[in-house]
Amino acid sequence: MTSGNNNISILIVDDEKRACNNLKTLLNEYAELGIQIAGVANSTSEADQLIKTLSPDAVFLDIDMPNENAFHFLERIKPFEFEVVFVTAYDEYAVKAFRLNAVDYILKPISIAELRSAVQKLKEKIKYKQSNTANTSFIDIASQIGKKVKQNKIILRDNQSTEMIDFRDIYYIEAQSSYCKLLFRKDNHDRESVMSSPLSDYEELLPPNLFYRIHKSYLINCAHVKKMLKDDAHYVVIKDEYTLPVSRRRYPPLVEFLRNNGFYNNKV
């Protein structure tokens, strides 16, 4: 962490000064102790300079800004070491945001509960990144992605052991704050492993004709789908044991995906 008192330093970036002041007030008044507003920028060019000067731990970033939106900005300055929390009035950018490994995605007008949750996720992710276990596991996943060769197993490593898991034996992967939980079959038992790499990394690594992102927090192995439930909300049942939520807008394309890839068998 950049500040001398172990606080998380935050840069706020939004072209609307009122929005910046509002977020700054909310963070100072409602968020948990342990954060520090390092600066405020009203354009990406200004943010670029402040990032170089302040080296913030995290940037709370509006997406839709004049001249250069947040995605173009991050693409231009990468690689970067800070974490990103998107703050926007538009929800159509959510999928792209999480593919960029954003810590969180907050919609305007800002909910206090969502803001506090984002700060907590941010603190956990920064803390976890600093551990050797996190660094090691991230390198393992990242190196598999970087090889760009056909694979059928994934390496799961922590400070105690290394697992080689066949893709087909993975039931689902769940994003949990700044971690991911993998549920899989090994030695005729269901097991789970908590790893530091973001869900978007697993989505890139695992075969797209087998795995499907049903929710911002869940990536499932469609071969293990037993049935789908539709009531007031939508759910998918994995292995007759695990019921997972499906976001409303992803339910129709999921049904189509199951049909097109040979998984549809009176499950809907």
DSSP 110-121: PPHHHHHHHHHH
Structural domain count of the chain: 2
pLDDT of amino acid 41:
97
From 20, 210, 215, select the one nearest 110 (Cα to Cα): 20
* Mean pLDDT, the chain, integer: 83
Instruction: Determine the structural domain holding residue 201 and report its residue range.
Output: 132-260
pLDDT of amino acid 132:
38
Decide if pLDDT at 145 tops 60.
no
Confidence class for position 29, pLDDT limits 50, 70, 90? confident
What is the mean predicted confidence (pLDDT) over 55-60?
A: 94
- In degrees and rounded to multiples of 5, residue 248 shows phi and psi of -60, -40
Note whether residue 211 is domain-resident: yes
Confidence class for position 5, pLDDT limits 50, 70, 90? low
pLDDT of amino acid 192:
86
Q: On the CB side of 110, how many CA atoms lie within 13 Å of its CA?
A: 25
Gyration radius of the chain's alpha carbons: 20
Decide if pLDDT at 165 tops 80.
yes
d(CA 68, CA 114): 26
What is the mean predicted confidence (pLDDT) over 204-227?
A: 92
- Cα of 67 vs its chain's centroid, Å: 27
For residue 239 the two structure tokens come to 């292995």
What is the mean predicted confidence (pLDDT) over 57-68?
A: 93
Q: Are residues 46 and 165 in the same domain?
A: no
Q: Are residues 162 and 176 in the same domain?
A: yes
Q: Which residue has the higher pLDDT, 84 or 132?
A: 84
Q: Are residues 125 and 175 in the same domain?
A: no
Decide if pLDDT at 68 tops 50.
yes
In terms of DSSP bridges, do strands 211-215 and 83-88 run parallel, antiparallel, or are they unpaired? unpaired
Confidence class for position 162, pLDDT limits 50, 70, 90? low
Note whether residue 139 is domain-resident: yes
Q: Are residues 167 and 103 in the same domain?
A: no
The model's pTM is 0.52
| Chain position carrying tokens 């790893």 | 195
Q: Are residues 137 and 106 in the same domain?
A: no
Q: In angstroms, how far is the first alpha carbon of the chain from the final one?
A: 48
Confidence class for position 267, pLDDT limits 50, 70, 90? low
pLDDT digits (tens, 9 = 90+) for 197-206: 788 888 888 8
Confidence class for position 139, pLDDT limits 50, 70, 90? very low
pLDDT digits (tens, 9 = 90+) for 40-54: 999 999 999 999 999
Note whether residue 57 is domain-resident: yes
pLDDT of amino acid 136:
43
Query: Which of the listed residues 106, 129, 152 is the one where a domain comes to its end?
Result: 129
